[in-house]
Chains A and B, each alone.
Chain A
């Protein structure tokens, strides 16, 4: 079994990839992908610390985090559909104006 440090490093790399995606990408759906990657990095941290410290609280928090992420994706995709119907585009550079 790999040590705790290895899981932490994998989680850090996934977090950095997610930050790269949020910084660079201008597509709304790609930014949602990046947010998913960051949430999964956090979940790996939760489960790794929960397993290596023998506490069940980390697994409970990972369950809550996964459920919240599902709700976040539902709202995000509804926002994408609304933005697409108003602007006919999901480039976030043009989304600087509120529409009635």
Chain B
């Protein structure tokens, strides 16, 4: 362990990983996570994997951390700052982490791993292998990412339609499955499909009642 750059980058990476988990404010935790991901990218550069380092910076720091920061800004509340983990829980977590470090370090050190010369892998070889031998994996990966992003959009979209409908108090244009389930659960006597104004008012009250019980049960 004689490389000073490696020691400095490792220390920064590990310290910002701890800060990302332990800082009170979530936004600063996300910024510390970005610093930790940049540190990992520098470790990749030290390992002569510059393409992976560029990919890491583009995907993680460019996309993932920005997405996380926007989500935190959407859902941030002051009450989370007082969320106590409890001393016993924290101690048990530290014990588990230290046991993991001890056992895995003992295993790695006692094994006879010889490190080779460690020269760089050419990007031509990497791209050749990815586009020939791993090309089915690449296709499945593209389909997986596309379907998961579409799934994420669908997950976030249904609830947004419900909240807009609840704010405006209008007749439902396209009743989604979720709002009809709320209606049938909250008020069974108006389960008929009347399209006059009284049924829409009842539906609004039913939706409000349903969300009130949600917060009550969730707060326990």
Cβ of B36 < 8 Å from any Cβ of A? Answer: yes
- Is A12 touching B104 in the complex (CB atoms < 8 A)? yes
Q: Quote the shortest CB–CB distance from A17 to chain B (angstroms).
A: 5
State the main secondary structure of chain A at its contact with B.
Answer: helix
The answer to whether B121 touches A33, judged by C-beta atoms less than 8 angstroms apart, is: no
B169 at the interface (CB under 8 A from A): no
Interface residue tally on B, bucketed by range: 35 or more
Q: A71-B145, A99-B214 are in contact. Are A16 and B100 (CB under 8 A)?
A: yes
**Nearest CB on A from B29, distance (A):** 6
Instruction: Give B74-93 as 1s and 0s: 1 = Cβ < 8 Å from A's Cβ atoms.
Output: 11010110010100011011
> From DSSP, what is the main secondary structure of chain B's interface residues?
helix
Contact (A9, B105) CB under 8 Å given A16-B98, A78-B151, A99-B214: yes
Does residue B201 face the partner (Cβ distance < 8 Å to A)? Answer: no
A20 touches B40 (CB 8 A): no
Instruction: For A70, list chain B residues within 8 Å (CB).
Output: 59-60, 63-64, 145
A86 to B213, CA, bound (A): 10
Residues 12-40 (chain A) with a chain B CB within 8 angstroms: 12-21, 23-27, 29-30, 32-34, 36-37, 40
Interface pair A25/B145, CB less than 8 Å apart: no
A61 to B52, CA, bound (A): 10
Using a CB–CB cutoff of 8 Å, the interface residues on chain A facing chain B are 1-10, 12-21, 23-27, 29-30, 32-34, 36-37, 40, 43-44, 47-48, 50-57, 59-60, 62-64, 66-75, 77-82, 84-91, 94-95, 97, 99-100
Known: A15-B100, A23-B92, A37-B36. 16 other contacts (CB 8 A): A6-B10, A10-B13, A13-B101, A17-B14, A20-B94, A32-B68, A40-B36, A51-B47, A51-B118, A59-B49, A64-B137, A67-B59, A71-B144, A81-B156, A87-B214, A88-B214
